[in-house]
Structure 1
Amino acid sequence: MGATGRARLSRPILGRLRLASQGLAGSGFRSAAAAVRWMTAMQAQDLGAALWAVGQRVPGSRTGDVRGAINRGEVVRSWPMRGTLHLLAPEDLKWMLAITADRLIRGLAGRHRELGISAADVGAAGATALQLVSGGAAASRAELFQAFERAGQPTAGQRGIHLLGILCQRGWLVQGPLAGNQQLVVAFDDWITESRALDRAEGIAEWLLRYLRSHGPATERDFAWWSGIPLTEVRAALAAVKDQLVEVTFEGTSYWLSPETAALLDGGVPAARSVLALPGFDEFLLGYTDRSLVLPPEHANRIVPGGNGVFRRTIVAGGQVVGTWEVSRTGGTVAVVPEPFDGVNGLRPAAQRSFELQAAKYRRFLGT
């Protein structure tokens, strides 16, 4: 199936289509759980940023709504791919880990040898952890690490966090309810009582389809990088699901998206004048291996200074990243300050007013 109006494709148009796919242009989602389930997985190593990423997609939501979804187990936070924390639907975690965990753990084998982590150590740590949290109990990370130490499993020098990561990737543990800005550790099967079962090929095909529907226009390479699944398997999955997608070509590259999103090319692509204050690590930027469609390469260092892996908050206008924003707190007051790439002219007056509305939305989300 092909989309009409292909001659209209441009970087801003592709960026705006991504906003629409991700629930950032239009009515959004009714709940945190619905937003996360649609997105399939949302980067979440920075908890505050992850909460706001969900909040931006759920109109009228507050931080307590997203935290509540985590506390009730409607959304879980774990390491399903790339060794990075993500938010995802609880019923998806087990089958995703079945696809990715072995490869993730093999990729860290050298580091595990440096830390002195053997298969026997993992088994001993797992038994210790389950003794601590089984039966519906929960433990802080500090309590878990203390239990490891008592069992003869050192936790210094990142050894503890690697043990925790392995046990989560093996489906023994998962992060559960929040205690302030930390998450308590719980037994996987106590916290997630219903899990879907998909074989590898079926799972990769569903994962790819859901990614392209929620992140498209995107490429097969974008998904291979995002998920950590080998490109050969991604291509086989694409062959199985491409009849449910639309292919468009821009500058010689094939992009895939849902028919509903592609139809916007005929009916009018939204968000031409929208301005969004997105968190650092938002899927709009991080969900792709090639970010140049929405972020001019000359400004990439403004988003990730020195390539340090820490993504700053972004201002997105008309589907393109046009600057960053900062937050300062004085007492109970939260100031939201734009830092546009154009340091001479700044944001245009209409964009500045739209950004101020975004700042007010962010403060309401925080409850300040």
Structure 2
Amino acid sequence: MKVTWKQVATWRMQRQYVHPRTKRTASEIVGRLCGVQAQVWSAAELAVALRQTTPDTDAVDRDVADLTLMKTWAMRGTLHLLRPDDAGAFLSLMADAGSWLKPSWTKASGVSPKQVDELTEEVSGILDGGAELTRDELVTRLIADKRFKGMEERLRSGWGSVLKPLAWRGALCHGPNKGNKITFTSPAKKFGADWKGVPEPDDAAPVAIEAYLGAYGPATADTFDRWLTLNSTSKPKLRKWFAALEDRLTEVDVEGRKAFILTEHADALADAKPCKGVKLLGHFDQYILGPGTKDDALLDAKHRTAVSRAAGWISPIVVVDGRVEAVWEIDGKELVVTPFDGVALPEKDLQKEATHVGKANGISGLTVRVA
């Protein structure tokens, strides 16, 4: 089966609610996207609101409060919002990659694999009653045990490197803030029956792979793993997981590149007509994070640094006919667009999108300026 990149872009935008937009809830949108990055909270809010026909600026907070979304360290070690009934599959594969088992991780963190096991068991016990503890409260409980006394500084680190493996193993997730302080709690206690636990990797893999391909296909095993673990999964294991799905996947030739789509989506992809138009998406948006910023069919390599910036920052993007062709930012009452290589952007479409962005940000009268 042969398709063009323009067909792929059209299909992905439809599946990801970029075009057309949707009336679905935050939880439903997050589920389709296999999570949204939430290291910067406003990025998660924008990822949802910009995909809605009428942006609901309270949608994410409401679904977090209603326990239909959970916040935890997940893909690539970054904070994400996930549906609690989906989360275990992704966390299982993160845990299976075993980043904390590598000597380089031990050297950087000062914590051994055995100590991670001990921390996992201890934190599970501390949070088992449903407690919601700030980092300081949790660490204070931990360092009362002499096994963890020497880890105090690393445990209090704002980046949470030592605690991430505990999240991937299902021992903790983020709870509601106490003032401006984050809390940790037990996903099993917090989400009850909606939390399915962390399954075995061989059981988790088909769930995670099918979900990913349902939003970001066609894709290769390597692209999937780069999105998930930054290519930390063993190649033989990846091949085994994809081979096990052979009867549910269709290989696609996308202008010379071989990749996989779910067979159930193959007809829709083949029938996709190249779309025209402009869409604005926010910082850290899944449209670019799903395939990755190194996908030159989506983003020209020479413009990658305009999108993927220092300290892991991902700029808000302008999508033109499915490709990333500009970045944008808000400056007061102006939405400032910086096109790549003098790309011609239709002013009328930009203003329409700016109005939508304004609604998603609670800003009225937002006007466009092309830099």
What is the TM-score with the length of structure 2 in the denominator? 0.81
- 1:180: how far off? 6.6
Write the deviation string for residues 260-301 of structure 1: whole angstroms up to 9, x where unpaired: 65434554436422x222122212111124421110111111
Q: Where in structure 2 are the equivalents of 1:154-233 lying within 5 Å? A: 154-156=151-153, 160=157, 161-178=160-177, 183-194=182-193, 195-196=195-196, 198-228=199-229, 229-233=233-237
Mapped to 2, the partners of 1:120 and 1:321 lie a distance apart of 45
CA–CA distance in structure 2, aligned partners of residues 267 and 44 of structure 1? 34
Measured in 1, the distance between the counterparts of 2:219 and 2:180 equals 33
Residue 297 of structure 1 corresponds to which residue in structure 2? 301
Partners of 1:104 and 1:110 in 2: CA distance: 12
Alpha-carbon distance in 2 for matches of 1:359, 1:193? 36
Cα deviation for residue 171 of structure 1 reads 1.8
Provide the C-alpha distance between the structure 2 equivalents of 1:349 and 1:355, rounded to a whole number of angstroms: 10
Change (3 A) 1:260 1:218: same
Counterpart secondary structure, 1:321: strand
TM-superposed CA distance for 1:335, in Å, is 4.0
Choose which of 310, 317, 323 in structure 2 pairs with 1:314: 317
**Residue pair 2:109, 2:162 contacting (<8 A) in 1 also:** no
Q: Which residue of 2 aligns with 1:86?
A: 80
> Contact between 2:29 and 2:48, CA under 8 Å: does it hold in 1?
yes
CA distance in 1, matches of 2:337, 2:163: 38
Are the equivalent residues in 2 in contact too, given 1:78–1:168 (CA < 8 A)?
Answer: yes
SS at match of 1:162: coil
Using a 3 Å threshold, how does the CA distance of structure 1 residues 33 and 120 change in structure 2: closer, same or farther?
same
Structure 2 CA distance for partners of 1:46 and 1:230, relative to 1, 3 Å: farther
C-alpha deviations, 1:144-167, integer Å up to 9, x for none? 345445652544357642332232
1:281 aligns with 2:284: yes
Match of 2:356 among 353, 358, 366: 358
Alpha-carbon distance between aligned partners in 2 of 1:127 and 1:200, rounded to the nearest angstrom: 20
CA contact (8 A) 2:10 2:322 kept: yes
Work out which of the residue numbers 249, 254, 260 in structure 2 matches 1:250.
254
Is the partner of 1:78 in helix, strand or coil? strand
Q: Map 1:1-368 onto structure 2 (within 5 A).
A: 2=1, 6=2, 9-28=3-22, 30-106=24-100, 109-118=103-112, 121-122=115-116, 125=119, 129=123, 133-148=127-142, 152-156=149-153, 160=157, 161-178=160-177, 183-194=182-193, 195-196=195-196, 198-228=199-229, 229-258=233-262, 261-264=265-268, 267-269=271-273, 271-273=275-277, 275-289=278-292, 290-305=294-309, 308-329=311-332, 335-343=334-342, 347-364=345-362
Distance of 2:102 and 2:280 partners within structure 1 = 35
Q: Which moved more, 1:87-96 or 1:46-55?
A: 87-96
Aligned length: 354
CA contact (8 A) 1:136 1:186 kept: yes
Change (3 A) 1:56 1:108: farther
Residue 82 of structure 1 aligns to a residue in which SS?
helix
- Return the letter of the residue paired with 2:291: Y
Which structure 2 residue ranges, 5 or more long, are not aligned? 367-371
Note if contact 2:96-2:201 (Cα within 8 Å) is conserved in structure 1. Answer: no
Which moved further from structure 2: 127-136 or 284-293? 127-136
Q: Indicate if the aligned counterparts of 2:216 and 2:290 stay in contact, CA closer than 8 A.
A: yes
Deviation at 1:314, TM superposition (A): 0.7
Separation of aligned partners in 2, 1:16 and 1:269: 7
| Deviation (angstroms), 1:108 | 5.1
**Consecutive unaligned residues in structure 1, runs of 5 or more:** none
TM-score by length of 1: 0.82
Shift of 1:316: 0.8
Identity of aligned residues (%): 25
CA contact (8 A) 1:168 1:174 kept: yes
State the match for 2:369 in structure 1. none
**In structure 1, C-alpha distance between the alignment counterparts of 2:161 and 2:309, rounded to whole Å:** 27
Check whether the contact 2:32–2:211 (CA below 8 A) recurs between aligned residues: yes
- Supply the distance in 1 between the matched residues of 2:154 and 2:295 (Cα, whole angstroms): 33
* 1:199 Cα deviation from its structure 2 partner: 3.8
Query: Deviation per CA, 1:162-185, whole angstroms, max 9, x where unpaired?
Result: 332232223221112245776421
Q: Structure 1 residues 235, 27: closer, same or farther in 2, change over 3 A?
A: same
